[in-house]
Amino acid sequence: MWEINPYEIAKIELEFIAKKLDLPPNIEKFLKNVERSVIVSIPVIMDDGNLKIFEGFRVQHSSVLGPCKGGVRYSQLVTLDEIKALAMLMTWKTSLHRLPFGGSKGGVCVYPKNVSKRELEQITRRYTAEIINMIGPNKDIPAPDIGTDAQTMAYIMDTYSMQHGKTIPGVVTGKPIEIGGSPGRSDAAGTGLFFVIEKYCEKFDYDLKSMTIVIQGFGKVGSVIAKKLYEYGCKIIAITELAGGVYSEKGLDVDLLIEWRDKGKFLKDFKGNSIKSITNEELFKIKCDLLIPVATENQITKHNANDIDCKIILEGANGPTTPKADEILNKKGTIIIPDILANGGGVIVSYFEYVQDINAYYWDLERVNKELKKIILDTFENVCNLAKEKKESLRTASYMIAVSRVAKALQLRGIFP
């Protein structure tokens, strides 16, 4: 399935940046490893009375800059190496946006739609119990990722709190607002993507409204960025989800598609004037101005990179482009706004939620979005400046900033003992 193993990809990317930064070999060696990785068994009595064991993971890549931070993914396809790669990516993402966190990630091998609500709650509570000594507001703070949501975070928070004899909202972010979640958190990754592409177009003289846009992914992030661009007046000509999707040269009505999806229907079955159903492979062949991969990692590979015909790629997913594909696209002159820069809105607002929980003082949506915009656009400016100065891609510049901050902190702290 992978072009190469995702953790190997993450290490190759780090090696490449280490060379650019001239990092001392010991620092590079240290950062290539994860600090802690745990595999747990999650036994659950299913609705039919039979016991089923699910596999779960939590990986802490780095706590050099602060408590580890990263989502929990529920997917049948989750592997330990995927979680390690995503944990490392979180270290770079939090560092790039100057958040006082390290990086981590978790996962459970389960497809949420294949289990009942009760079974899913049991899985979440038992997973939390198994990793309870690893997590905590000062240690490691989970959040939603693919397949998990605010309800999942509520169960994690409750399980953790019950074991500690008091309510501890700061143990997770992305909670429901009623129990200490932040306004704006559920849309934050999509909102951040919008701020970044809007700024990019303003800075480099593109007219966002007249762009043709193709989006892969219609989940918690994909549908938010699709709706924001649609409301802004952009023409979105294709959207797919895992099972495929729809294409219309005239542009799609995103509100109707969200309504359709919310009824539990597949995008590919949506019918309308001039609308054609398409596969994910076909999606990447559509000529457009802006392509937004916002599904999973390793979607743009050496096998389809040559087919891609767009001016800008805005990475909403984590790791959607393999290094080989990145090379091909850079040679073609395609601009890639990389994941750790573009999709940082989620973890930035997670940070705001954590700050609000710890201070027991809640912000309104206006303040959340204003501060999100400031942080993500400051990062954007820093990345653009370094990319220009060093004549590097936005990805390389982003990684150079992120990795050098962690490396510097590691040098200052030293290696224990």
Asked if the bond preceding 417 is cis, omega within 30° of 0, the reply is yes
**Nearest-approach distance from CB 309 to ligand GLU, in angstroms:** 28
Residue among 11, 58, 69, 227 that touches ligand GLU (CB under 6 A): 69
Structural tokens at position 2: 């992978």
User: Which of these segments, 49-57, 63-71, 198-206, 242-250, binds ligand GLU (CB under 6 A)?
Assistant: 63-71
Nearest to 105 by CA among 57, 63, 140, 70: 70
Nearer to ligand GLU, 72 or 325 (CB): 72
Alpha carbons 192 and 347: distance in angstroms, whole number? 10
**Nearest-approach distance from CB 101 to ligand GLU, in angstroms:** 8
Structural tokens at position 281: 């492979």
The dihedral of CA 72, 78, 84, 88: what is its sign?
negative
Draw the binding track, 310-329, toward ligand GLU (x: CB under 6 A; -: no contact). --------x-----------
Residue among 6, 71, 107, 147 that touches ligand GLU (CB under 6 A): 71
**Nearest-approach distance from CB 61 to ligand GLU, in angstroms:** 13
Nearer to ligand GLU, 228 or 235 (CB): 228
104 three-state secondary structure: strand
The dihedral of CA 331, 337, 343, 349: what is its sign?
positive
In the block, tokens 């729809």 appear at: 246
Over its C-alpha atoms, the chain yields an Rg (Å, rounded) of: 21
Residues 329-358 that bind ligand GLU (CB under 6 A): 346-347, 350
Alpha carbons 129 and 255: distance in angstroms, whole number? 40
**Nearest-approach distance from CB 270 to ligand GLU, in angstroms:** 28
**Nearest-approach distance from CB 393 to ligand GLU, in angstroms:** 21
Nearer to ligand GLU, 81 or 145 (CB): 145
Nearer to ligand GLU, 69 or 228 (CB): 69
- Is 143 among the residues that bind ligand GLU (CB under 6 A)? yes
Nearer to ligand GLU, 305 or 349 (CB): 349
Q: 163 phi and psi, to 5 degrees?
A: -70, -25
Sheet with strand 335-337: strands edge to edge: 276-278, 244-247, 235-241, 212-216, 290-293, 312-314, 335-337
Whether residue 3 contacts residue 297, with contact meaning beta carbons closer than 8 Å, is answered with no
Nearer to ligand GLU, 173 or 334 (CB): 173
**Nearest-approach distance from CB 354 to ligand GLU, in angstroms:** 9
Residue among 145, 158, 241, 289 that touches ligand GLU (CB under 6 A): 145
**Nearest-approach distance from CB 249 to ligand GLU, in angstroms:** 33
- The number of beta carbons lying within 10 Å of the beta carbon of residue 302 is 14
Pairing label, strands 102-108, 140-144 = unpaired
**Nearest-approach distance from CB 350 to ligand GLU, in angstroms:** 3
Q: What is the number of residues in the chain?
A: 417
Residue among 6, 56, 67, 70 that touches ligand GLU (CB under 6 A): 70
- Is 91 among the residues that bind ligand GLU (CB under 6 A)? no
Residue among 173, 191, 296, 334 that touches ligand GLU (CB under 6 A): 173
Nearer to ligand GLU, 291 or 349 (CB): 349
Alpha carbons 230 and 153: distance in angstroms, whole number? 30
Q: Catalytic residue at 105?
A: yes
Catalytic residue among 105, 175, 220, 373: 105
> Partners of 142 in the beta sheet?
70
Interface with ligand GLU: number of residues (CB under 6 A): 10
DSSP characters over 7-38: HHHHHHHHHHHHHHHT--HHHHHHHHS-SEEE
- Is 84 among the residues that bind ligand GLU (CB under 6 A)? no
Structural tokens at position 180: 């200490």
Nearer to ligand GLU, 298 or 350 (CB): 350
Q: What are the CA-CA distances from residue 201 to residues 91, 337, 375, 379 (Å)?
A: 28, 12, 18, 16
User: Which of these segments, 66-74, 230-238, 299-307, 405-413, binds ligand GLU (CB under 6 A)?
Assistant: 66-74
Active site residues: 105
Q: Using CB under 6 A as the criterion, which residues of the chain lie in contact with ligand GLU when the complex forms? A: 69-71, 143, 145, 173, 318, 346-347, 350
